[in-house]
Structure 1
């Protein structure tokens, strides 16, 4: 089974022979290599516990790189400031991470970090627009975020990630807790973002069929990446 699935020409991310073993000595990544071009939309599938989430966490240095290397725009991750990296490459984890503060405070949380102090905070009107765009019409900015459902929290975290205007958006099962209508809205938002040039890497068990963008599908199986179909899916332009 091939351990390398590469593209060519001016890569945004380059992963070389990345290996990772869990604390219980289970090898979940076995010398995987991957090159990601700017503007690509990559969907990663594979069995639960197969290393998909670990791979994403390694890309933003939430896990220690044990073996191999990852470079972002030609620079090794280990040479980059981790907080600054997580602004350029934002990970939305499967389990939404929120505080018990208000919705507004959760959306603006990242602006309190030293790395992001120079960023212009969005206005309440802009935040309201983002909430409405993801069908959170009934969610008030002053409401406690802890009162939201898991699906609402997931969309809240997506908005929070997008407010930072990252170069790469990493999505770990972003629609797993959503109803069918909300799921389609989130999928359309990700397509629109990709059409606008944002690089997206998404883990998904849902059968995501894009309507407007080209998607590269990879399967993480037995520690290695492989193309999960013989051609790239492309929806109507």
Structure 2
């Protein structure tokens, strides 16, 4: 007789999660979801006022939340912060590389320093923070890394060239991390949001023509809400996803499924 399998384990109790770029928007929503699933969460950003306000809001909601102010583009700052967290809170079990930015101009209008700025924040930072965190995961032979990719990891749209290039690179970095680190029982996956209401997309949300186009283009017929990303983050961070590795899962209301 085939044994009856136990129920999937989605709990994150006893786990420590660091979410970069999490004082607002998608990053904050992911931190909330991980915290509600039982993880101790560390919010990251460079604006200490916004970051501390976000931490207080999470704590008032009953989530064990802390702040870590460091620049995800500065390797020395990253290494110092990760070492300090290890001393004060303990090792990072779950890393969410979420920090990012967008520039909306045609490629011929992008200056070289702007290109590097987007690539450094959206792509290189994920490499640098992971590089600082992963030695501890390798030593413990367990860990979860979640990269906030994008629908534009696969698809392009006019005026999003640097962002599209960075998110396409992040998709492939996710796969490269899997190839190097899966043997250490570390799972590395990506979340690929479609169009979500955030501070970064507010100008598009307010553009009636664009929002109308999006509603027609997306089978779900609407913008996504950041809270709708939390379930996937909890799943990928949990033991239930222990054999999922190197994947980018899109959350886009069906946009990538339709012509």
Normalised by the size of structure 1, how large is the TM-score? 0.32
Higher RCO (C-alpha 8 Å, min separation 6): 1
Judging by fraction of residues, say which structure has more strand. 1
